[in-house]
Amino acid sequence: MEKVEIIGGTVVKMWTTDIDDKAREQIENLAALPFIHHHIAIMPDCHGGVGMPIGGVLACCDAVIPNAVGVDIGCGMCAVKTGWKVEKITADVLRKQIMRGIRKRIPLGMDYHKERQDESYMPQGHDIDRLHVVKAQYISAQRQVGTLGGGNHFIELQRDEEGFLWIMIHSGSRNLGKQVGDHYNKLAASLNERWHSVVKPELRLPFLPLKTQEFNDYWVEMQYCVDFALCNRRLMMKRIQEVIADALPGIEFEPMINIAHNYAAWENHFGENVIVHRKGATLAREGVVGIIPGSQGTSSYIVEGLGNPDSFNSCSHGAGRLMSRTAAVNTLSLEDEVKKLEDQGIVHAIRSKRDLEEAAGAYKNIDQVIALEADLVRVKTKLRPVAVIKG
């Protein structure tokens, strides 16, 4: 539930009781920005990021901050419910036909497609000539669309409370989003230095002011990356469904749920039109259906937004990291983490010590995170993992 602090004269509304030192410092930095609108909102999955903490929501009056969006622009979740009961899928079909088939169809980690994908799978309705970075990266992006990526990105097969099979994907805009994010962050830093901005470089929060060409250029490229990230998830989902349909003839799929968690958007809050940055936070406007995933081996949730104005109509994007990747590798037990998964009968992706970066022990307790945001979302469905593919 909401807790309020005053930091440097700025109101900060928090839905968490657990903030690491890095995130705390970054919240203090955000609170010092001269163009904040009303207050800052911090979600229960908050942890340190680059410039702005993951799980943060920031509304600005007349500026956009590339690092308050992040480099994986448009990263998000999608999920599809099927009409097939998990109990009807044999272990042999699951492992040899479905999981193996998905791995054959979808490049993982740093891998891309060998061939450019069809133009129809790319975002439509954009003026590519206006998109300087995207245009230079377009051919490469055609090989990236329909690929998972690394880190905490995943494909997961899940079981709902009635036993039906679900498909869930977490992925973003791949290298395209990183190229756009890096370019405009460096551009903003250069301009802020030229303007002798009061936002110090060490904060890593350079901004682009409204009504400048640089703002307009970033905005259209960011929007393209949000659309590209959706195209990426949509194509992966299409191909996963094809694999599953081959293995389970007659299976039916419901429409896809999609929600992004790294972007900026014009919205009206507290009587003003402002630029809302959601970095590791998702839209929870009243009635909006969203997805809050757990970590590998834990529950995920399909939720419905309650439209809480104090969170800028937002909620968490997941469980949130409890420890850094390095700390996870150095601290967690490979044997214990594998046992947790195998005791639940989950087909998992923990194979080596390095894989502990994405083990459940490296993340906050998802059930506690959901409980902390009971005034932000209503749980519609709880999902338990059946099989996991990590990037």
- Residue 246 shares a structural domain with residue 311: yes
Q: Cα–Cα–Cα angle for 136, 137, 142, nearest 5°? A: 135
Of 380, 304, 308, 295, the closest CA to residue 81 belongs to 380
Structural contact between residues 13 and 39, judged by C-beta atoms closer than 8 angstroms: yes
- Residue 247 shares a structural domain with residue 341: no
Q: Phi/psi at 308 (nearest 5 deg)?
A: -75, 115
- Residue 245 shares a structural domain with residue 352: no
- Per-residue pLDDT band for 289 (boundaries 50, 70, 90) equals very high
- Residue 227 shares a structural domain with residue 356: no
Please give the helix or strand (H or E) that residue 227 lies within, else none. Answer: helix 213-247
Instruction: List the structure tokens of 290.
Output: 């969203």
Of 257, 279, 274, the closest CA to residue 309 belongs to 274
Q: How many residues make up the chain in this entry? A: 391
Q: According to the model, what pLDDT value does residue 268 have?
A: 98
Is position 270 within any domain?
Answer: yes
At residue 361, does pLDDT exceed 90? Answer: no
> Average pLDDT, stretch 342-365?
84
DSSP 79: E
- Residue 93 shares a structural domain with residue 56: yes
Is position 328 within any domain?
Answer: no
- Residue 239 shares a structural domain with residue 348: no
Least confident piece of the model among 17-21, 113-117, 221-225: 17-21
> Average pLDDT, stretch 40-64?
95
- Residue 181 shares a structural domain with residue 257: yes
Angle of the 213-247 helix axis to the 132-144 helix axis, nearest 10: 10
Q: Cα–Cα–Cα angle for 157, 160, 166, nearest 5°? A: 35
Q: Which domain holds residue 303?
A: 3-322+363-390
- Residue 292 shares a structural domain with residue 342: no
Is position 188 within any domain?
Answer: yes
- Per-residue pLDDT band for 391 (boundaries 50, 70, 90) equals confident
* Cα(255)–Cα(79) distance, integer angstroms: 9
- Residue 206 shares a structural domain with residue 339: no
- Per-residue pLDDT band for 1 (boundaries 50, 70, 90) equals low
* Cα(200)–Cα(203) distance, integer angstroms: 6
Report the relative pairing of strands 154-159 and 3-7 from DSSP bridges: unpaired
> Known catalytic residue: 317?
yes
Q: According to the model, what pLDDT value does residue 151 have?
A: 83
Is position 265 within any domain?
Answer: yes
* Cα(150)–Cα(152) distance, integer angstroms: 6
Is position 306 within any domain?
Answer: yes
Structural contact between residues 273 and 61, judged by C-beta atoms closer than 8 angstroms: no
> Average pLDDT, stretch 224-248?
98
> Average pLDDT, stretch 116-142?
97
Is position 95 within any domain?
Answer: yes
* Cα(101)–Cα(241) distance, integer angstroms: 11
The string of pLDDT tens digits covering residues 307-316 is 999 999 999 9
CATH of the domain at 160: 3.90.1860.10
* One-letter amino acid for residue 94 of the chain: L
- Residue 291 shares a structural domain with residue 354: no
Q: Work out how many domains the chain is built from and give that number.
A: 2
Is position 344 within any domain?
Answer: yes
- Residue 352 shares a structural domain with residue 371: no
Catalytic-labelled residue, pool 37, 183, 317, 348: 317
* One-letter amino acid for residue 297 of the chain: G
* Cα(20)–Cα(52) distance, integer angstroms: 13
Structural contact between residues 74 and 260, judged by C-beta atoms closer than 8 angstroms: yes
DSSP 281: E
Structural contact between residues 358 and 152, judged by C-beta atoms closer than 8 angstroms: yes
At residue 356, does pLDDT exceed 90? Answer: no
Mean pLDDT of the residues in the chain:
94
- Residue 117 shares a structural domain with residue 36: yes
Is position 327 within any domain?
Answer: no
At residue 349, does pLDDT exceed 80? Answer: no
The string of pLDDT tens digits covering residues 70-106 is 999 999 999 999 999 999 999 999 999 999 999 999 9
Least confident piece of the model among 108-122, 163-177, 261-275, 322-336: 322-336
Per-residue HEC secondary structure of 46-72 comes to EECCCCCCEEEEEEECCEECHHHCCCC
Around 159, how many Cα atoms within 13 Å sit in the side-chain half-sphere? 18
Collapsed DSSP state (helix, strand, coil) of residue 99:
helix
